A and B are shown apart, each in its own frame.
Chain A
Amino acid sequence: MNAATDRYMRLYRRRKLKDQMMTALLRLCVVLALIPLVSILSYVTWRGIGAVNLDFLMKTPAPVGASGGGMANSIVGSGIVVGLAALMGIPVGVLAGIYLAEYGRNNLFGKVVRFLADVLQGIPSIVVGIVAFTLVVLPMQTFSAFAGAVALSMMLVPFVARTAEEAILTVSDDIREAAMALGQPRWRVILSVILHAARGALVTGAMLGIARLAGETAPLLFTALNNRFWHQGLLAPISTLTVQVYTYAIAPFDDWNAQAWAGAFVLLTLILLTNVVARTLARSKYGERS
């Protein structure tokens, strides 16, 4: 065997070994990435389920020092704040998405809005909280459910706008043209035909948006604040599940910590369920995009 071949084969043995090692390393990345996921899910389930009980789901927090109590007010509060944010944010977001997909595909305004929508999604949520604080809490001189909802809806609008745009763009132009050829004005076509065709993807996007809001804490810390009692109107501070979990997690009492796990369990269940449902919906209805 001559030198060149010899060298090639010798090197090839090394190359092959390296190939196998690196492939193994790539697989190891998967394992490493999944360890925290598994750990988080199992801890939250294990410590959470144990602490969830009827009191937890039905009662407000017990006074400091007393044991028992629950997070019922926080669960309801989260529902109120997120619901209000969705009410304010989703229509605006969807309309903006319609603009981007239908009227602003290529014009400068559309491009700028699309760009900013993406950029705004990268702004830390604590910053959103500060802006909402200066916009709502300062002038009204009170922390409030409303302020929290404003903060969340500020995060929701860009997200929904972009998902709605994507959803509408999946509707093929053929449908658009076919409907317009029937002599319908464009806005009618959009409202009746296109939104109808895109409704599944729109719902999916909205659900994902809501699931994200439900998990937000930072923008609520100094807008909605917290409250030990049942909600007292939209203009009063309100308790939310995330802020309550935070408060109880850093508290030095074991039973509060336990309740924090229970709250995390409830929160995570709701969010993951919403996510899974939204994504299966998207997959089953629209198939794999290839």
Chain B
Amino acid sequence: MTHEKLETAKLGELAFRGATAAAASSILALAAVYAVQMTTNSWESIVRFGWDFVTGTAWDPVSDVYGALPFIWGTVVSSLVALVLAVPLSIGLAAYLSEVAPVRIRRIVEFFVELLAAIPSVVYGLWGIFVLVPFVREHVQPFLQNTLGFLPLFQGPPFGYGMLTAGILLAIMILPIITSLTREALHAVPIAQREASLALGSTRWETIRHAVLPYNKSGIIAAIVLGLGRALGETMAVTMVIGNVPLISPSLFMPGQTVASLLANEFAEVSGGLYLSALTELGLLLFGVTFILNVVTRLFVPLVSRKVGGAAEGRRQLT
């Protein structure tokens, strides 16, 4: 009797443990499925075009010629614009939250940053179309033209829709993740480092600039890279404001198209064959790049990855 009971208990443990392990394996499987599905489905295009796929500039479903360079260009440029705008802002915000803000203000601002992270990208896009695009067209672009118009970056007619607007919108969207990851990075800086600096007669800014920020450079870089990963793959908001014209132009005022926005525009219309394969290869490209960015940063930078999921919460004040 007891023996039997023991056996059932053992069996129960085995079954439960097996079930949880199976569920855990599903995450492994998921990663494998991504890789396999994307590769097999884009194989035809990979074989057919080889490197021409990423260097070609013609994208023509009618004659089945696919070159992705304009989309890669659009993706990279819009993401870089986003980084240029978002990085200083996010690091400043994170430094403010971790080193300057009183507890109460810190909580409130963190709450708002979390809200910013919770807004769906289609809402960003909607706001982008009806608020940001007109604002950029009527204020930002004329201003840039008047002040920095000698740069090729800021030449051409102010459409509103285009690379610049997409970059601004992306910057707003990746600000929360860079901010919260930078916060984590600063959180890892020992209080003793700050006190050492202050005790030597440094001002608060000197302490932030020379003792706190440099202490965990790799953490901050990781935050930026993960922000970049987000920007590269962001779809809806960009699709709605970038203009969706596959151009390679030095001007940020011109419309463009990203890999993700092309997918959003064309994938539902695809019937199969080489076209589908080429589109999937674009997805594979996006997958590969973001996968590598994530793997590399997480492998080399010990991150408190909790915040990546957006489940941020209040933490100890450091200053």
Partner of B120, one of A27, A204, A222, A242: A242
User: What is the chain A residue whose CB lies nearest that of B299?
Assistant: A115
In the complex, the answer to whether A264 meets B123 with C-beta atoms within 8 Å is yes
A215 to B229, CA, bound (A): 19
Which residues from chain B contact A143 at a C-beta distance below 8 Å? 268
A261 to B127, CA, bound (A): 9
Which residues from chain B contact A129 at a C-beta distance below 8 Å? 263, 267
Which residues from chain A contact B240 at a C-beta distance below 8 Å? 246, 249-250
Partner of B34, one of A40, A123, A162: A123
Instruction: Enumerate B30-52 residues with CB–CB distance to A below 8 Å.
Output: 30-31, 33-34, 37-38, 41
Nearest Cβ on chain B to A254's Cβ, whole angstroms: 11
Q: Chain B binding site: helix, strand, loop or mixed by DSSP?
A: helix
The interface on chain A, measured as residues whose beta carbon lies within 8 A of the other chain's beta carbons, has a size of 106
Which residues from chain B contact A86 at a C-beta distance below 8 Å? none
In the complex, the answer to whether A215 meets B120 with C-beta atoms within 8 Å is yes
Which residues from chain B contact A264 at a C-beta distance below 8 Å? 122-123, 126
Known contacts being A127-B38, A162-B305, A186-B13, is A267 close to B123, with CB within 8 Å? yes
A288 to B240, CA, bound (A): 39
Nearest Cβ on chain A to B285's Cβ, whole angstroms: 10
A264 to B122, CA, bound (A): 8
In the complex, the answer to whether A216 meets B120 with C-beta atoms within 8 Å is yes
Which residues from chain A contact B12 at a C-beta distance below 8 Å? 185, 187-188
A99 to B111, CA, bound (A): 31
A8 to B131, CA, bound (A): 51
In the complex, the answer to whether B260 meets A124 with C-beta atoms within 8 Å is yes
Looking at the complex, which of A13-21, A51-59, A64-72, A228-236 is the stretch in contact with chain B?
A13-21
B interface list, Cβ under 8 A from A: 9-10, 12-13, 15-17, 19-28, 30-31, 33-34, 37-38, 41, 88-90, 92-93, 95-96, 100, 109, 111-116, 118-127, 129-131, 172, 175, 179, 203-206, 208-209, 226, 229-230, 232-236, 240, 260, 263-264, 267-268, 270, 279-280, 283, 286-287, 290-291, 293-295, 298-299, 305-306, 308-311, 313-316
Q: Can you name 28 A-B residue pairings with CB atoms under 8 Å?
A: A16-B203, A25-B92, A33-B175, A36-B172, A37-B119, A43-B130, A95-B23, A99-B20, A99-B23, A102-B20, A103-B17, A113-B24, A116-B30, A125-B235, A126-B286, A130-B41, A161-B23, A185-B12, A187-B12, A191-B16, A212-B118, A215-B120, A215-B122, A217-B121, A218-B235, A246-B122, A279-B114, A289-B314
